[in-house]
Amino acid sequence: MNKYWRSAGLYVLIFIVIFAIVSFSGQGIVPQEKEVVVYTYSDLLTSLRKDDVKSISITKATEVSDYGMAEAVLDDGTKISVNLPSVTAFMQEINDLPMEGSDLEIISAEAQKQSLLSAMLPTLILMGIMVVIMVVLFGRMQGGGGKMASFGKSRAKMNLDENNKVTFDNVAGCDEEKAELEELVHFLKNPKKFTDLGARIPKGVLLVGPPGTGKTLLAKAVAGEANVPFFSISGSDFVEMFVGVGASRVRDLFDQAKKNAPSIVFIDEIDAVGRRRGAGLGGGHDEREQTLNQLLVEMDGFGINESVIIIAATNRADILDPALLRPGRFDRQVYVGRPDVKGREAILRVHSKGKPMAPEVDLKVVAQTTAGFTGADLANLLNEAALLSARDGKKAIDMEEIQKALIKIGVGTEKKTRVISEKEKYITAYHESGHAILFEVLSELDPVHSISIIPTGMAGGYTMPLPGEDKMYMTKLFMEQEIVSLLGGRAAEALVIKDITTGASNDIERATAMARSMVTQYGMSDILGPIQFGDDSNEVFIGRDWGHTRNYSEAVATTIDEEVKRIVTKGYNEALQILRDNMEVLHASAKLLVEKEKVTGEEFRQLFDPSVRANILGLTVEEEEAPSAQTQEEDHQTEM
| Minimum mean pLDDT range among 121-135, 150-164, 396-410, 544-558 | 150-164
Q: What integer best gives the mean pLDDT of the chain?
A: 78
Domain that holds residue 59: 40-113
The CATH code of the domain that includes 284 is: 3.40.50.300
Domain boundary among 357, 378, 410: 410
Residue in 606, 568, 570, 573 with CA at minimum distance from that of residue 588: 606
What is the domain count for the chain? 4
Q: Is residue 141 predicted with pLDDT exceeding 70?
A: no
Domain boundary among 355, 390, 410: 410
Is 108 within 8 Å of 95 (Cβ atoms)? no
Angle at the Cα of 600 from the Cα atoms of 426 and 487, rounded to 5 degrees = 50
Of the CA atoms within 13 Å of residue 410, those in its CB half-sphere come to 20
On whether residue 225 sits in a domain, the answer given is: yes
Domain boundary among 335, 352, 370: 335
Give one word for 498, left, alpha or beta, with left for phi > 0 and alpha for psi -120 to 50: left
Q: Is residue 408 predicted with pLDDT exceeding 70?
A: yes
Q: Are residues 282 and 217 in the same domain?
A: yes
Instruction: Convert the pLDDT of each residue in 455-467 to its tens digit.
Output: 887 778 888 888 7
Q: Is residue 305 predicted with pLDDT exceeding 60?
A: no
The CATH code of the domain that includes 364 is: 1.10.8.60
Buried b (16+ CB within 10 A) or exposed e, 569-584: eebbebbbebbeebbb
- Binding annotation: 209-216, 431, 435, 507
More confident residue, 243 or 167: 167
Is 57 within 8 Å of 70 (Cβ atoms)? yes
| pLDDT > 90: percent of the chain | 19
pTM: 0.67
On whether residue 522 sits in a domain, the answer given is: yes
Rounded CA-CA distance 49/330 in Å is 107
- Binding annotation for ATP: 209-216
- Binding annotation for Zn(2+): 431, 435, 507
Q: Which residues pair with 71 in a beta bridge?
A: 57, 81
What per-residue confidence (pLDDT) applies to 545?
Answer: 45
Rounded CA-CA distance 179/110 in Å is 96
What per-residue confidence (pLDDT) applies to 12?
Answer: 67
Q: Is residue 432 predicted with pLDDT exceeding 50?
A: yes
On whether residue 47 sits in a domain, the answer given is: yes
Q: Are residues 530 and 611 in the same domain?
A: yes
pLDDT band, residue 632 (cuts 50/70/90): very low
Q: Are residues 319 and 349 in the same domain?
A: no
Active-site choice (401, 414, 432, 633): 432
On whether residue 121 sits in a domain, the answer given is: no
Q: Are residues 456 and 401 in the same domain?
A: no
Q: Is residue 634 predicted with pLDDT exceeding 60?
A: no
pLDDT band, residue 304 (cuts 50/70/90): low
Q: Are residues 351 and 329 in the same domain?
A: no
On whether residue 126 sits in a domain, the answer given is: no
Using DSSP, state whether 529 is helix, strand or coil.
strand
The CATH code of the domain that includes 48 is: 3.30.720
Is 265 within 8 Å of 253 (Cβ atoms)? yes
Q: Based on the residue annotation, tell me whether 432 is a catalytic residue of this protein.
A: yes
Q: Are residues 404 and 526 in the same domain?
A: no
Q: Are residues 313 and 435 in the same domain?
A: no
On whether residue 35 sits in a domain, the answer given is: no
What per-residue confidence (pLDDT) applies to 190?
Answer: 80
Q: Are residues 573 and 626 in the same domain?
A: yes
Q: Are residues 558 and 484 in the same domain?
A: yes
Rounded CA-CA distance 484/570 in Å is 8
More confident residue, 518 or 303: 518
Rounded CA-CA distance 394/404 in Å is 14
pLDDT band, residue 569 (cuts 50/70/90): very high
Residue in 371, 296, 339, 383 with CA at minimum distance from that of residue 173: 339
| Minimum mean pLDDT range among 151-155, 272-276, 433-437, 444-448 | 151-155
| pLDDT > 70: percent of the chain | 77
The CATH code of the domain that includes 503 is: 1.20.58.760
On whether residue 399 sits in a domain, the answer given is: yes
What per-residue confidence (pLDDT) applies to 589?
Answer: 92
Q: Are residues 433 and 562 in the same domain?
A: yes
pLDDT band, residue 507 (cuts 50/70/90): very high
Identify the helix (H) or strand (E) that includes residue 268. strand 263-268
Residue 262, preceding peptide bond in cis (omega within 30° of 0): yes
Q: Are residues 64 and 166 in the same domain?
A: no
What per-residue confidence (pLDDT) applies to 512?
Answer: 96
Q: Is residue 430 predicted with pLDDT exceeding 90?
A: yes
Q: Are residues 516 and 603 in the same domain?
A: yes
Q: Is residue 627 predicted with pLDDT exceeding 70?
A: no
What per-residue confidence (pLDDT) applies to 635?
Answer: 46
Over range 341-364, report the average pLDDT: 89
Q: Is residue 52 predicted with pLDDT exceeding 80?
A: no
Q: Is residue 36 predicted with pLDDT exceeding 70?
A: no
